[in-house]
């Protein structure tokens, strides 16, 4: 098998800021680096003898993965070299080493907090149940004494600050963080050589420390605690202080964790949207097959729309985890003081949003308006009778016109200190402090702002002191989760895969999660993302494993998916998040929010499989079946029913580009008919139900309508189980993958290109600044991912003719691209071909081809083709 992808090297990537609403799909490969897997009986020594000319990056000498990663000395002809390595008898597979970017949760670090001064706003934490545990029944597991005892969870991440007082305070035997390894070292950035050492301290990023706290933080005054505090943890650090992680390091980390006795492996890491073929996903799948569950975050690209699952989360057997919003909203804030009329001076929480010229001087508070539901406070110039605002702290409600317009209108009346109070949906800071004379900007929570407005409306005088960031006491202020409380997070990346596999699998709390953070970076932080949901799911596996006495990944996963609670869909309308009257589709929330107690104790049934894919229109499978097995001692009768949800269009009307956050729901749904609507299953017996589906009618197949829903099973013993299904109206094979209008050749300096332009390329092997030197630059915009994209250089005659054809003289360096994500791809071309040769002087065109989804490489009609205008090249002497 041969999967060579190479995009860097002489074929340099030029970062671009395009006025197009797409992200540039990053070509993330390490030039000249490959992962080689040996055939049986082969090893590194034999391989070195067979194939000289490389350095070893990593030895991948594991029970489940025998191979190595290599760095070729000569990166010029890397693709050709890889092809010849692949043909060696000792080589089973070879893949390019790709780079997975660091995780990207939304981060809110608690300013300047240390464990002494930090306290919790609004009550004594140890008396309150912890919200994420209540949402998922983890509190009920803890009440039964189930904490994940005897189970070792490996966390593959940025390392862990094991000296954090809530994470055991030490490293090694007898400590919570019992073992681990730093596979990369501080200076590693994803493309250079990793330098391992024995110490997995999280000394730069903090992400892994946050993840570890979600699993096992000790109880504390701030009110959060780990979901499985009885486990032991092994920390595998795979990120340096900057950049991403290469897939060879991930293969090594997972296999090392497996061999060092991990019972569960969790990694909140991923990339490669929409495809499951990667050595790392394969490595994870093998580990799951050996009985060790792997939980992976589904990704935080919900805004990218459907078909955006990330790898390795979509690897076979791997558990991909969606995020749900915490029902509480912990805010990391500072404390200042207010006085109402002659009342006492009392503390209130606020966030300093830049400027920070809070002198602590008491000033009266003046509110723009007394309407606590208005959405346009200070969106227009203020009336003439507005007082001089320079002597006040000005209170304004967050408005749809945005903080800058608001600030502008307030500044016009002299405002120097602006306090925005929140609407409950968005609690991020407002950064207006650098505008004109604004000296300080602050944010206060909804309840505080509303209480102030009410008091002012009633004629009270409020005096507010704003203490500067350095002087103020940090507090964690927990408020109600607001309108998104308990919802499936908007940020979770949606499935399915391009091959119509369901993803994500299950959901866990990931939005607005307070947890541990490295001591050097502030001790505590609030993060949001599937990165937070993923370790929670790993903890849930540990709890179910302890309670059920099984470690079998498929068994635990089935228990978690079949008992999960599906949530209603939520949509943002006019800035407000509103629950709809239909369920969120499984392609967003998986089976739903995990209910750990029900999974551990609630049922004696197993339900297989966990989902049914009816595939797209071309590959429609009319009927699928599932099997229920009664492992209990009593007969149970189940009623089978259908809970459809709305269909979702992948494409907006009249556009070929998948929509941003999928809001295009349609009430139409598919129908399913069961071979039996009631099942009586004696103890120890199984029953199989055939599900015959018909896709919804009246939907526009050109927009790709994803239809889905749940099959509910209500048992006479009071249990309720479910499984999800999905299908697609539309032909993925016919999807237009490549955008003809946005796949073209231009000039790297930004000049416009015209046909037959002559590009003077630098001498062979010389890289120049493509912003300064006009080089050919190829763009390819992919509407959908493609399993393979080629770029052929076609030789034309020297004189211009109409409808020109010519001979391909090979692929440009960097092609073919395998498993390409959708988005904008771009290359600056120096004349080099994929075999390392340089194209001769002459006249050419480039022919870009994208393989259709489910297409057959050998058939011409399965490729979409776009040609560039003709151009000429010559080389500098
Ligand atoms: C919080 O409550 C617990 C249990 O009632 C008690 O032991 C602890 O002292 C209280 N902490 C504070 C700061 O009041
Ligand atoms: C990684 O670091 C190396 C030096 O060790 C540097 O040459 C390379 O450009 C860096 N890569 C990235 C992506 O920052
Ligand atoms: C407050 O603002 C909302 C939203 O603009 C509006 O619907 C409502 O009528 C206003 N209330 C008052 C009392 O003006
Ligand atoms: C608020 O302050 C104003 C001006 O200082 C004063 O006239 C008024 O009586 C005060 N109102 C209350 C309720 O104290
Ligand atoms: C859908 O059909 C295609 C083509 O037969 C197949 O390759 C793919 O695996 C199917 N997907 C699922 C989830 O069954
Ligand atoms: C869906 O079911 C298939 C088996 O048919 C299974 O391999 C896959 O892991 C399941 N995916 C999800 C998201 O449950
Ligand atoms: C099955 O149980 C679920 C959850 O308890 C409930 O919402 C649903 O209405 C029940 N369905 C039927 C058909 O009884
Ligand atoms: C085009 O011109 C170049 C030199 O100008 C020459 O090397 C090449 O052979 C010519 N190609 C054709 C197809 O005539
Ligand atoms: C060029 O090719 C197109 C499509 O193959 C054809 O319609 C057109 O008539 C051709 N033009 C000439 C000048 O041959």
- Indicate if the pLDDT at residue 23 is higher than 50: no
What is the arithmetic mean of pLDDT over 161-170? 95
- Cα 457 to Cα 368: distance, rounded to the nearest angstrom: 11
Counting from 1 in the atom list of ligand 5, the atom nearest the Cα of 501 is 13
108 catalytically annotated: no
> Ligand 2 centroid to 449 CA: how many Å?
47
What is the C-alpha separation between 296 and 316, in angstroms, rounded?
12
In this prediction, residues 382-403 reach a mean pLDDT of 92
Q: Is the CB of 126 under 6 A from ligand 1?
A: yes
What average pLDDT does the segment 394-422 reach? 90
Q: Give the C-alpha distances (Å, rounded to integers) separating 276 from 2, 320, 499, 816.
A: 16, 12, 9, 18
So what's the pLDDT on residue 274? 53
Among residues of the chain, what percentage have pLDDT more than 70?
91
Find the helix or strand (DSSP H, E) in which 211 lies. helix 207-216
Read off the pLDDT band of 276 (50, 70, 90): low
Query: Among 800, 802, 803, 804, which residue has the most ligand 9 atoms within 8 Å of its CB, making it the best to mutate?
Result: 803
Reported confidence tier of residue 539, pLDDT bands at 50, 70, 90: very high
How remote is the CA of residue 712 from the centroid of ligand 7, in Å? 7
Instruction: Tell me how far the alpha carbon of residue 101 lies from the centroid of ligand 2, in angstroms.
Output: 14
d(CA 627, ligand 6 centre) in Å: 14
**pLDDT at residue 105, rounded to an integer:** 76
10 Å Cβ neighbour count for 381? 11
Of 11-15, 243-247, 460-464, 620-624, the one with minimum mean pLDDT is: 11-15
Residue 796 CA: nearest ligand 8 atom is 13
pLDDT bracket for residue 450 (50, 70, 90): very high
Distances (CA, A) of 562 to 487, 548, 621, 708: 19, 16, 23, 16
The pLDDT-based confidence of 864 (bands split at 50, 70, 90) is very high
Nearest CA to ligand 9 atom 10: 803
Q: Which of 13-17, 262-266, 415-419, 665-669 has the lowest mean pLDDT?
A: 13-17
How many angstroms separate the alpha carbon of residue 717 from the centre of ligand 5? 37
Highest mean pLDDT (candidates 39-43, 274-278, 829-833, 869-873): 869-873
The pLDDT score that the predictor gives to residue 11 is 26
487 CA → ligand 3 middle, Å: 27
- Residue 725 token pair: 């299904």
Rounded average pLDDT over 223-231: 94
Helix crossing, 207-216 with 530-548: angle to 10°? 30
**Residue 433 to residue 407: CA distance in whole angstroms:** 9
Q: Looking at residues 824-833, what average pLDDT do you find? A: 87
Could you tell me the two tokens for 824?
């904008």
Reported as a pLDDT band with limits 50, 70 and 90, residue 563 is very high
Q: Whose CA is nearest to atom 9 of ligand 5?
A: 499
Q: Is the pLDDT of residue 498 over 60?
A: yes
Q: Looking at the predicted structure, is the pLDDT value of residue 136 above 60?
A: yes
Answer yes or no: is the C-beta of 373 below 6 A from any ligand 3 atom: yes
Mean of the per-residue pLDDT values for the chain?
Answer: 88
- Out of 207, 642, 669, 726, pick the active-site residue: 207
Query: Would you say residue 615 has pLDDT above 90?
Result: yes
In this structure, the number of other CB atoms found within 10 A of the CB of residue 342 comes to: 6
Which of 756, 759, 798, 839 has most ligand 8 atoms within 8 Å of CB, for mutation? 798
Residue 642 designated active-site: no
Q: Identify the residues whose C-beta falls under 6 Å from ligand 4.
A: 341, 459-461
Q: State yes or no: pLDDT of 701 exceeds 70.
A: yes
**Which position among 69, 276, 497, 531 bears the catalytic label?**
531
User: Which of 369, 373, 376, 423 most suits a substitution to test ligand 3, by most atoms within 8 Å of the C-beta?
Assistant: 373
pLDDT band at 108 (very low <50, low <70, confident <90, very high): low
Ligand nearest to the CA of 126: 1
SS3 739: coil
- Judge contact between 38 and 51, C-beta under 8 A: no
pLDDT of residue 159: 98
Q: pLDDT value at position 120?
A: 47
Record the tokens describing residue 698, joined without a space: 């009246």
Q: Are 204 and 458 in contact, with CB atoms under 8 Å apart? A: no
Cβ contact 493:301 at 8 Å: yes
197, 185 contact by CB (below 8 A) = yes
> Per-residue pLDDT tens for 279-316?
899 999 999 999 999 999 999 888 888 998 888 888 88
Q: Please choose from 461, 462, 463 the residue to mutate so as to test ligand 4's pocket, defined by most ligand atoms within 8 A of CB.
A: 461
Q: Where are the beta strands (DSSP E) in 353-505?
A: 363-367, 393-397, 417-421, 440-444, 462-465, 474-480
Q: How far is the CA of 615 from the centre of ligand 5 (A)?
A: 6
Mutate to test the pocket of ligand 8, among 841, 871, 874, 875 (most ligand atoms within 8 A of CB): 841
Residues 6+ away with beta carbon under 8 Å from 339:
345, 346, 362, 462, 463
Residues in the chain: 877
402 pLDDT more than 90: no
pLDDT at 487: 96
Residue identifier of the C-alpha nearest atom 11 of ligand 3 = 371
Measured CA angle at 152 (ends 146, 157), to 5 deg: 120
Q: Give the pLDDT score at 137.
A: 98
Instruction: Give strand ranges (E) for 214-344.
Output: 232-237, 245-246, 264-267, 294-297, 319-325, 328-340
If you measure from the C-alpha of residue 805 to the centroid of ligand 9, how many angstroms do you get, rounded to a whole number?
A: 12
Residue 478: predicted pLDDT: 79
Torsion, Cα of 402, 407, 409, 413 (10° steps): 160
**Atom 8 of ligand 9, nearest CA residue:** 803
Q: In this predicted model, what pLDDT tens digit does every residue of 804-822 receive, in sequence order?
A: 788 999 999 878 887 788 8
Report the pLDDT averaged over residues 14-21. Answer: 26
Supply the residue whose CA is at minimum distance from atom 5 of ligand 8: 842
- Tell me if residue 333 falls in helix, strand or coil: strand
User: What values do phi and psi take at 155, rounded to 5?
Assistant: -110, 115
Find out whether the beta carbon of 803 lies less than 6 Å from any atom of ligand 9. yes
Considering the entire predicted model, what is its pTM?
0.86
pLDDT category of residue 510 using cuts at 50, 70 and 90 = very high
Q: Tell me which residue has its CA closest to atom 1 in ligand 4.
A: 461
Kindly report which listed range (379-388, 397-406, 866-875) carries the lowest average pLDDT score: 397-406
Ligand 9 centroid to Cα of residue 859, in Å, is: 23
- Residue 442: the pLDDT is 87
pLDDT in tens, 723-757: 999 999 999 999 988 988 888 999 988 888 889 99
- Name every protein residue with a CB atom under 6 angstroms from any ligand 5 atom: 499-501, 613, 615, 619, 854
Residue 115 pLDDT level (bands cut at 50, 70, 90): very low
Q: Which ligand 4 atom is the nearest neighbour of the CA of 342? A: 14
**What DSSP line would sit under 26-79, residue for residue?**
P--EEEEEEEEEEPTT--HHHHHHH--SEEEEEEEE-SS-EEEEEEES--TTHH
Q: What is the mean pLDDT of residues 343-364?
A: 81
- Is the C-beta atom of 74 inside 6 A of ligand 1? no
Please tell me the predicted confidence (pLDDT) of residue 514: 92
- The residue among 284 and 522 whose pLDDT is bigger is 284
The residue with greater pLDDT, 703 or 118, is: 703
The active-site residue out of 76, 79, 139, 157 is: 157
pLDDT at 572 over 60: yes
DSSP state of 411: H
Residue 562 among the catalytic residues: no
Closest ligand, as measured to the CA of 120: 1
């Amino acid at each position: 098998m041969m999967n060579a992808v190479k995009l860097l090297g002489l074929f340099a990537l030029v970062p671009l800021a395009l006025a197009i609403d797409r992200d540039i799909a990053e070509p993330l490969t390490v030039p000249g680096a490959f992962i080689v897997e040996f055939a049986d009986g082969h090893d590194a020594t034999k391989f070195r003898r067979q194939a000289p000319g490389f350095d070893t990056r990593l030895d991948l000498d594991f029970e489940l993965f025998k191979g190595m990663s290599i760095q070729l000395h000569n990166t010029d002809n890397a693709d050709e070299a890889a092809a010849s390595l692949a043909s060696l008898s000792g080589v089973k597979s070879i893949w390019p080493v790709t780079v997975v970017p660091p995780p990207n949760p939304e981060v809110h670090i608690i300013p300047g907090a240390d464990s002494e001064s930090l306290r919790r706003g609004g009550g004594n934490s140890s008396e309150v149940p912890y919200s994420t545990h209540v949402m998922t029944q983890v509190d009920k597991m803890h009440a039964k004494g189930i904490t994940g005892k005897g189970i070792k969870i490996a966390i593959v991440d940025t390392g862990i600050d094991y000296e954090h007082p809530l994470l055991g305070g030490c490293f090694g035997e007898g400590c919570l963080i019992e073992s681990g390894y730093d596979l990369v070292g501080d200076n590693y950035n994803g493309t250079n050589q990793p330098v391992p050492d024995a110490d997995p301290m999280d000394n730069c990023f903090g992400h892994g420390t946050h993840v570890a706290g979600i699993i096992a933080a000790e109880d504390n005054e701030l009110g959060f605690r780990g979901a499985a505090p009885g486990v032991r943890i092994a920390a595998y650090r795979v990120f340096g202080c900057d950049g991403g992680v290469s897939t060879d390091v991930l293969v090594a980390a997972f296999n090392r964790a497996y061999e060092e006795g991990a019972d569960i492996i969790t990694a909140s890491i991923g990339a490669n949207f929409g495809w499951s073929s990667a050595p790392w996903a394969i490595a994870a799948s093998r580990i799951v097959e050996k009985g060790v569950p792997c939980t992976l975050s589904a990704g935080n690209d919900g805004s990218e729309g459907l078909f955006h699952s990330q790898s390795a989360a979509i690897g076979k057997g791997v558990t991909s985890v969606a995020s749900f919003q915490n029902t509480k909203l912990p805010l990391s804030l500072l404390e200042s003081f207010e006085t109402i009329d002659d009342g006492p001076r009392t503390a209130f929480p606020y966030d300093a949003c830049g400027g920070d010229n809070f002198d602590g001087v008491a000033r009266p508070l003046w509110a723009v308006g007394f309407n606590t539901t208005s959405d346009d406070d200070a969106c227009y110039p203020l009336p003439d009778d507005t007082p001089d605002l320079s002597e006040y702290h000005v209170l304004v409600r967050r408005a749809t016109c945005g903080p800058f317009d608001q600030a502008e209108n307030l500044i016009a009346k002299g405002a120097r200190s602006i306090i925005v109070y929140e609407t409950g949906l968005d609690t991020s800071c407002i950064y207006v402090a650098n505008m004109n004379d604004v000296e300080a900007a602050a944010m206060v929570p909804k309840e505080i702002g509303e209480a102030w407005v009410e008091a002012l409306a009633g004629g009270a005088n409020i005096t507010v002191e704003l203490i500067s960031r350095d002087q103020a006491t940090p507090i964690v202020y927990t408020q109600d989760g607001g309108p998104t409380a308990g919802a499936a997070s908007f940020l979770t990346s949606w499935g399915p895969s391009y091959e119509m596999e369901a993803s994500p699998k299950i959901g866990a709390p990931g939005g607005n999660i307070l947890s541990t953070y490295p001591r050097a970076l502030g001790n505590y932080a609030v993060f949001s993302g599937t990165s937070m949901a993923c370790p929670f799911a790993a903890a849930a596996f540990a709890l179910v494993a302890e309670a059920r006495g099984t470690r079998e990944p498929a068994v635990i996963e089935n228990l978690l998916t079949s008992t999960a609670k599906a949530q209603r869909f939520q949509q943002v309308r006019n800035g407000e998040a509103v629950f709809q009257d239909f369920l969120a589709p499984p392609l967003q929330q998986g089976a739903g929010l995990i209910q750990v107690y029900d999974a551990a104790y609630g049922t004696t049934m197993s339900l297989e499989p966990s989902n049914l894919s009816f595939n797209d229109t071309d590959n429609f499978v009319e009927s699928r079946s599932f099997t229920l097995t009664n492992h209990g001692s009593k007969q149970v009768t189940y009623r089978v029913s259908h809970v459809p949800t709305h269909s979702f269009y992948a494409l907006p009307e009249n556009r070929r580009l998948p929509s941003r956050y999928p809001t295009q729901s349609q009430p139409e749904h598919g129908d399913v008919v069961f071979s039996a609507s009631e099942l009586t299953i004696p103890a120890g017996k199984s029953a199989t139900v055939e599900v015959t589906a018909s896709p919804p009618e009246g939907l526009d197949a050109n927009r790709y309508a994803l239809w889905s829903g749940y099959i509910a099973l209500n048992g006479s013993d009071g249990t309720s189980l479910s499984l999800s299904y999905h299908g697609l109206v539309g032909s993925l094979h016919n999807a237009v993958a490549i955008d003809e209008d946005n796949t073209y050749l231009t000039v790297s300096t930004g000049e416009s290109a015209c046909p037959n332009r002559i590009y003077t390329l630098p001498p062979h092997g010389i890289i120049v600044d493509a912003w300064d030197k006009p080089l050919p630059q190829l763009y390819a915009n992919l509407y959908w991912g493609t399993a393979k994209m080629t770029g052929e250089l076609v030789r034309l005659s020297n004189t211009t003719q109409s409808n020109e054809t010519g001979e391909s003289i090979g692929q440009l360096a960097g092609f073919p691209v395998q498993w390409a994500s959708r988005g904008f791809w771009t290359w600056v071309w120096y004349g080099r071909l994929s075999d390392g040769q340089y194209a001769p002087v002459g006249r050419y065109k480039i022919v870009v081809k994208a393989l259709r989804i489910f297409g057959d490489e050998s058939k011409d009609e399965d490729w979409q083709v776009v040609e560039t205008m003709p151009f000429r090249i010559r080389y500098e002497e």
